[in-house]
Structure 1
């Protein structure tokens, strides 16, 4: 998972729910602690967001030993009426970096 850059103040285009979902899409076995660090959220906030996403059917998880493995329902449609015809897969295609792109970029970019 890529590290977060410097701090930011003010508004942003992407919600925390989308950031958490993208982090999980990037690594389905990611730890809450790592999501929190990457998204610059508290672990508690990440837990609430995951709970929201599970409650509304966007995400599920299975427990394997001490590890959670998350599964995103990529065919589920987005919630807001303005994006109601777009799937989670469409959103994630914009937010998650393809492995081939990641391999080509030097570290830190």
Structure 2
């Protein structure tokens, strides 16, 4: 049986995976918005709201693991969310540039 701390860590890993997938989807939707009448922007907003809930839950778990509030914020934002989002944006911009270059 796992202890409470181990359960928190497993749950944090699961939430980090959800955050990673959601941030990649948002970055992809920003670079490739879809055609007129596409529902992708609406889905992107729904995913953004869900990710806000995920980040809030991660913050609560880190505080429950006795991290300070400022350190928990730095870990979530500076250590994961912002770098993953920016790297995803750069990746999809490069992918878009290469696909446009192939078409020319």
TM-score (norm 2): 0.33
- Bigger proportion of residues as strand: 1
- Bigger proportion of residues as helix: 2
TM-score (norm 1): 0.32
Report which of the two structures shows the higher radius of gyration computed on alpha carbons. Answer: 2
Higher relative contact order (CA 8 A, sep 6+): 2
